[in-house]
Structure 1
Amino acid sequence: MTRILVTGASGCVGQYISHWLLLHSDAELLLWLRDPSKLTAVLADHPRVRLLVGDLRDTDRFVAELATVNRVIHTATAWGDPERAEQVNVVAVKRLLQLLNPHVVEQIIYFSTASILDRDLRPLPEAQAYGTEYIQTKARCLEQLEQHPLAAKIIAVFPTLVFGGRVDGTSPYPTSYLTEGLAEASRWLWLARWLRADASFHFIHAEDIARICGQFATRPHEPNREPGQGALRRVVMGQQAISVDDAVATLCRWRGVGRTPGIPLWAWLIETLIKILPIEVNAWDRFSIRQRHFIHDPVSPPERFGGESHAPTLETVLSDSGLPNRGSPRTQRKVLPTT
C-alpha cells in the first residue's frame, strides 16, 4: 500500500487534499498536524489515517515514519514571525528531505506561492529583495530545492489566490483567508464601484488544488518535461487570469450593488488613498502596486492534467463560499458538491 505524508494536514488546503485522497485512492495517509481538534473534514480514526501530532520544527520525532513514506505533500508553512518562518519554511524543509529514504520516496509535492515567480515561472528577484518574511523564505527554499539531490522527484506547486470553505462556517473544511475576506470586501463595494484598476490575477479553489495534487500523487511520477525548467518541476495552480475590474463587477452583481463608469486608479490617487484610508503598506505592497499584473504562463487548472475544475469562475467561487447573493437570478448559480 502506498504511504502518503501530508504536512499541514489540519489547514484548509491540507484537509481538501486529505479528503480527496481518502475518496479517490487506497493510500495510507500520515497526517502531520499540530492540533488534532482542527481536523474537521477527515475522520481521525479512519482505518487508513494515522496522525503525526507535532510541530514541523520537531521533525526528528518522526524519523521512523519519514523513512517509510512513498509520497510527500508538503503544505505546512509559517508567516508573521520572521524567526519561525525561517525555521519552518527553510530549515525544517531541509531536515524533512534529509530524513526521507531516497530508495523509498517516489515523489515530493512542495507547496510554495506564485508570488515568487515571474510571468514565465522563473524566480522573481524582487521576492527576496522586497518580500515579507513569508515570501523571502519561500524564495530561498525554492532556490535550495532546485539544487537538491532529490530535485527530480520534486514537484513545486505555486497556488495563486486560494478560496476554500464557507463564510457562514457551514463547511466541514476550514475557511481560507481569501474566502474569509469576501465579507469585508463586500463592505468596501460602495467605494470600489467608483474605481477602475489596470491589474489582473489568477485564483484557484482549494478543491481544485486537491484535484491537481491528487492526480500527481496517484499516478507514476515522471521526469520534468516542462520547457525551460531544470529537474525540479514548477506548476502554478490557477484558473485563467481575471482583471480586477471584472472581479469587482462580478462581486457587485453578486451583492446587488450598482456599478458606475468609474475613475481610473492613477498612481497619485493610489498614494492619496493610502494616506487617507486605514491601510498599512510595506515594501512588497508597493512593489505589487507597481507590478499590477500577477499572471503566469502556463497556469494550471485541473483540466491541464486531465481533471475537471470544481470552481472555474469567480461566480462559482462566490456560490461555493456561501456569501449571500443579493443580485439578479442570473447570478444565483449552484456549485456541484465536493467529491
Structure 2
Amino acid sequence: MSPAPSGPAGVRRPQRILITGASGCVGQYIAELLLRETDAELLLLLREPSKLTAVAATDPRITLLVGDLRDLGSPGADPALARAIAAATRIIHTATAWGDPERARQVNVEAVKTLLSLADPEQLEQVIYFSTASVLDRRLRLLPEASQYGTEYIQTKALCLQQLEDHPLAARIVAVFPTLVFGGRVDGSGPFPTSYLTAGLGEAARWLWLARWLRADASFHFIHAADIARVCLALATAPHEANPEVGQGALRRIVLGQPAVGVNETVRRLGQWRGCWLPPWGLDLRGWLVEGLIRLLRIEVNAWDRFSIRQRHFVHEPISPPERFGRVSHAPTLEAVFADAGLPHRGPVPRSPER
C-alpha cells in the first residue's frame, strides 16, 4: 500500500477512496477487492443501496453516499456529499450513462466537471477515470469517428476525454479504457452483478447452430471485471506519478484488455466449450452480404454500427492486462471467462463425421 496522508504526530491514515457507480458490475468488483486487500476507507457513491451485493454496507470501513451525480453541486444537493468528495484522497469514477442523449451529457460530461470541482486539490492524489476503448484508435489516439458517428454514450465519452486533457488536474488523472467487459454469472447468481456481455453468453450459445456456418474477418479485446479491479488496485495503492507513457500528454491512457482474439476463433472456442461440432468451412460475411442481411432481416443500424462493420478490427497497442502491473489475471482466456460465468460445459467436442 502506498504511503497515505499522515495525521497528528506523523500517524499514518488509511487512504479514503471514493468510488462512483459503486453498485454497478465494475464498481462492485473494485469495492470488494479494495475492501479485501487494503485498509482503505471506501466512500461508495450510488443511487440505489439495495443493489450493493458484493460488500456489506454495514462494514465499518464503508460509507454509503446515496445520491445522483447529476445533482452534485446543485442548490438542493446534500452537503454531506460535497464534504465526502472533498475528503477523498483517491477517486475511482466508474459511473456512466447511455440511452438518453440528455442524461448521457449530464452524467458523462457535466457531472465529471462538477465532481472534480468538489475535490480538494490539497487532499486529492489521483483520479482513475473510466472511459471506453471505443473512442480510441489502435495507437490510443482519439478516434475521429467516435465524435462523428458515435452513439450518445460514445460521443459524450469522447468529449469528456478532450476536456480532461486540458483540465487543471490532468496530471493526476489516469484514464482507463475497458474493452469488452465480462463479469458476474450468466444466471445472475453470485454476489456480483452480471455485465451485459456475460448476460449475452447464453444467447450466443443458443445461436451457435447458425454462427458456426459463418466467418467474419474481425477481432477485439476483452477484459473481466475482476481484472479491471486488479488494475485499479495496483494504481490506487501506488504513489501517483507523472504520466510515464510514451507519446501521451499529461493525461495517462490505459486500455484494459487481454490479447486480441478473432471472431472466428471466438466462435470456435465457444463451440468447443458447448460441445458443438464446427464445420471446417463457412460463409464469409463480407460487406455486401452483411448489407444484404441487414435489409433482408430489417435490422436497425445507426451510423456507429455501420462504421463498426467497416472497421471490423477494434484492437489497440499497447493493451494493459493485470500482468502489466505485476498482478495475475483472473480470466486471461475465453475459457476462463466461460467458466467464471457459469456457462454450462458440454464436454469434449464430438469428432466430425467421416467423409
CA distance in 1, matches of 2:152, 2:161: 14
Aligned to 1:57: 70
SS of corresponding position for 1:281: coil
Match for residue 69 of structure 1 among 88, 93, 100: 88
Could you tell me which amino acid in structure 2 is paired with residue 70 of structure 1? T
Structure 1 residue 189: deviation in Å?
1.0
CA distance in 1, matches of 2:190, 2:349: 24
Aligned to 1:258: 277
CA distance in 2, matches of 1:298, 1:272: 36
Could you tell me which amino acid in structure 1 is paired with residue 89 of structure 2? N
Structure 1 residue 327: deviation in Å?
3.3
Could you tell me which amino acid in structure 2 is paired with residue 124 of structure 1? L
Structure 1 residue 329: deviation in Å?
8.3
SS of corresponding position for 1:118: coil
Q: Does 1:182 align with 2:195?
A: no
SS of corresponding position for 1:67: helix
Report the count of equivalent residues. Answer: 330
The CA deviation string for residues 94-125 of structure 1, in whole angstroms up to 9 with x for no partner, is 01101111111000000000000000000000
Structure 1 residue 257: deviation in Å?
1.5
Q: Does 1:308 align with 2:328?
A: yes
Aligned to 2:210: 191
Aligned to 2:265: 246
SS of corresponding position for 1:172: coil
CA distance in 2, matches of 1:265, 1:169: 33
SS of corresponding position for 1:158: strand
CA distance in 1, matches of 2:83, 2:241: 27
SS of corresponding position for 2:200: helix
Q: Does 1:143 align with 2:156?
A: no
Runs of 4+ in 1 over 6 A off after TM superposition: none
Aligned to 1:45: 58
Task: Name which one, 1 or 2, has greater alpha-carbon Rg.
Answer: 2
Q: What percentage of aligned pairs have identical amino acids?
A: 69
CA distance in 1, matches of 2:292, 2:277: 24
Could you tell me which amino acid in structure 1 is paired with residue 348 of structure 2? S
Match for residue 215 of structure 1 among 234, 241, 245: 234
Q: Does 1:206 align with 2:225?
A: yes
Structure 1 residue 169: deviation in Å?
1.9
Structure 1 residue 273: deviation in Å?
1.6
Aligned to 2:23: 10
TM-score for both structures, normalised by structure 2: 0.91
CA distance in 1, matches of 2:235, 2:36: 15
- Give the unaligned 5+ runs of structure 2: 1-13, 351-355
CA distance in 2, matches of 1:323, 1:276: 32
CA distance in 1, matches of 2:149, 2:101: 14
Could you tell me which amino acid in structure 1 is paired with residue 344 of structure 2? P
Q: Does 1:129 align with 2:142?
A: no
The CA deviation string for residues 57-95 of structure 1, in whole angstroms up to 9 with x for no partner, is 111331111111000000000000000000000000001
What is the RMSD of the two structures over their aligned residues, measured on CA atoms?
1.1
Q: Does 1:286 align with 2:338?
A: no
CA distance in 1, matches of 2:297, 2:20: 38
SS of corresponding position for 1:85: helix
CA distance in 2, matches of 1:89, 1:144: 11
CA distance in 2, matches of 1:275, 1:317: 34
CA distance in 1, matches of 2:219, 2:286: 16
Structure 1 residue 276: deviation in Å?
2.6
